[in-house]
Structure 1
Amino acid sequence: MPKIVALHELSQEQIHRIEDAAPEYEVISGKYKELPSGTVSGADILMGWSGAAAEEALAENSQVRWIQVWSAGVDRMPLQELDARNIQLTNASGVHSIPISEHIFAFMLAYARNLHQAVRHQSRNEWDKSGIFHELSGKTAVIIGVGQIGSAAARIAQAFGMKTVGVRRSGKDDPHIDVMYTTEELDQALGQGDFVINILPLTEETKGLFNADRFAAIKEGAFFINVGRGPSVDTTALVDALKSGHLAGAGLDVFEEEPLPADHPLWNMEQVMLTPHTAGDTEHYNERVMDIFVENLKAFVEGSPLPRNVIDYERSY
């Protein structure tokens, strides 16, 4: 009997959904270290991933043909090895559109209405009305990496009366982006933003993309948001742009080094808001990943191409 192995505990409801979609498959779930040796290599489909399971999943005798990971980013996956073994890889892209777009606007609204300073004053029992209070209406949001999350963020931005500028590899139009640029035109787009929002995946092309030159291209006084990948930003260059005042502030959820070291200067910069890589977290996470997995599973069982979130190994996303 073919097997589906989940590297975490599944609820009975989740197991029933899988069994309904693939009645000929045995479903096994549990943490890797608790599973008998050979369970992963004997799986046809693997749900989840861990470094501990990698050796077995990629072993010569492994039967794994498809891996569904629980994250959107796959930059830490052994993509070359998976490609060489003809293992299909699907991610959780689409799960994050709502929580991350809302997280982006949490940063933007907090900055615009000076809430980050108000919270600091509250912690010190200070009644302080100083500061500049902005409005999002009439401002320009530049969204770097327009996919599902970027499109969702742009839709919200338009509802606030903002102009939306997008950057994506193809330059393909999006209904919620007023002006779209290709990645080759990145600097031209950066110069227009009051808010610059990085949602890029991590690839060889995006690693360190936001360096001193990129920050210099951003309009002076802009607010920078990173909810993409930490290593796409040169942190030293970011700190320098903040210290000089070229950037008015930043909202950061991801970092080159995680956890962010306790002595890092970003912690104590009052114009910076930090969250510990939680922008994509939501109480609905697992059910949304299951929706993606079950839709793909039905196609897999029928021998049809997987319809959602298949990773292109050449592009690394």
Structure 2
Amino acid sequence: MTRSIVCMQPLSSGQQERIRAAAPDYTLTLTDSRNADLELLAGAEIVIGWGKGIKDTLLRQDSPLRWVQTWSAGVEKLPLEALKERGILLTNASGVHAEPITAVIVGFMLMFTRNLHTAIRNQQRRRWHSDNQEGELTGKTAVIAGTGAIGSETARIAKAFRMNTIGVSRSGRPAEHFDRVFTTAELKEAVSQADFIINTLPITDETEGLFDRDIFGAAKQGAYYINIGRGATTHTDDLIAALNSGQLAGAGLDVFETEPLPEDHPLWGMEQVIMTPHCAGATDRYADRIVDIFVENIKAYRESGQPSRNLVDYSRQY
């Protein structure tokens, strides 16, 4: 019986050839995640990506599905309990976002420090003006919630600006490029030292609503908040209140509790806020990096029956 890999995202011919070379005993077929070929998916042992309307087909009792490789780092939109119950292996795209997302984080920090966001608005108004409040990153402290690939890369680049770096993680274990790492239970103490509070966390039962009034209230007066993790980790109303009071000087946001952000949402009109439409991880190298992960994993899977990289722990939801 032919073993089948079905990819629900576009791949170049070169990317397809890399997968076929790594798994010559499998067929590789592409389908569109927005209009998936259910008959094709019904015979898949391995699926790359996910889409609406495919759950019942993939998780039926006699499905040959054994492994799902997601196209994203977050897996909260997948039926995790059902996948766990069926014993389906799940790997995510963790690691593909580190470089582009770090660039966005550093971009936010530079814009706020050098007042580039106000300069752009002044240009649109043809206004020649500076408040003479420009600063620099040297000596500032970045507190980064999440010490994984994105957090670590951000800390590494922050060190190039001679910044102080503090990490926050579940374990509090020391991590490369961080001067110190606090546990999540010590988040208040960590943010009290921050000039920039950077949230790179996934959404889990533990992180939902983590950044709230208490955390923002513990922040240094005039700190900036950056969220490129997941919108639901932040109480938006509490964030807006902290911005309006001046407790926070500004926010750089790529993710939101509701997406797309409604046109009448107050964040749109706040000049101390910079927003991007959940595209911080987008890059023209995205598919190549997914294929890198998959090729490494399919080799391990063929040898041992299990992928070697980015295996999701269902109990942690990432």
Question: TM tier, shorter chain?
Answer: over 0.9
Contact between 1:165 and 1:177, CA under 8 Å: does it hold in 2? yes
Moved more, 29-38 or 207-216: 29-38
Counterpart-to-counterpart distance in 2, 1:35 and 1:91:
20
Which stretch of the first structure deviates more once superposed, 193-202 or 302-311? 302-311
Structure 1 unaligned segments of length 5 or more: list them. Answer: none
Whole-Å separation in 1 of the counterparts to 2:107 and 2:74: 22
C-alpha change, 1:166 and 1:35, in structure 2 (3 Å) is closer
Distance in 2, matches of 1:37 and 1:147, equals 35
Q: Deviations over 1:14-45 (max 9, x none)?
A: 22111111111111112156655421121000
- What's the offset of the Cα at 1:306? 1.5
Structure 2 residues not aligned, in runs of 5+:
none
CA deviation string 1:113-144 (max 9, x = no partner): 00000000111111111251111001100001
Counterpart residue number, 1:97: 98
Please give the secondary structure, in 2, of the residue aligned with 1:315.
Answer: coil
Local SS of the residue matching 2:39? coil
Percent identity for Structure 1 against Structure 2: 51
Q: Does the CA-based 8 Å contact 1:165-1:180 persist in structure 2?
A: yes
Cα–Cα, structure 1 residues 37 and 115, in superposed 2: closer, same or farther, change >3 Å?
closer
1:242 partner amino acid: L
For 1:300 and 1:261, the matched residues in 2 are separated by 43
The question of whether the paired residues in 1 share the 8 Å contact of 2:142 and 2:196 is answered with yes
Give the aligned partner of residue 10 of structure 2: 9
2:33–2:50 CA contact under 8 A, matched in 1 = no
Change (3 A) 1:131 1:257: farther
TM-score, length of structure 1 as denominator length: 0.98
1:268 aligned residue: 269
DSSP-derived class of the 2:197 partner: strand
User: Is the Cα contact below 8 Å between 2:301 and 2:308 reproduced in 1?
Assistant: no
1:229 corresponds to 2:230: yes
Instruction: Tell me which stretches of 4 or more aligned residues in structure 1 moved more than 6 Å.
Output: none
Measured in 1, the distance between the counterparts of 2:160 and 2:12 equals 38
Give the deviation of 1:305 after TM superposition: 3.1
**What SS does the aligned partner of 1:174 have?**
coil
Using structure 2 for the length normalisation, give the TM-score.
Answer: 0.97
How far is the alpha carbon of 1:293 from its aligned partner? 0.4
Confirm or deny that 1:259 pairs with 2:260. Answer: yes
Counterpart of 2:284 in structure 1 is 283
Deviation at 1:304, TM superposition (A): 4.6
Q: Give the root-mean-square deviation of aligned CA atoms.
A: 1.1
Q: Partner residue of 2:160?
A: 159
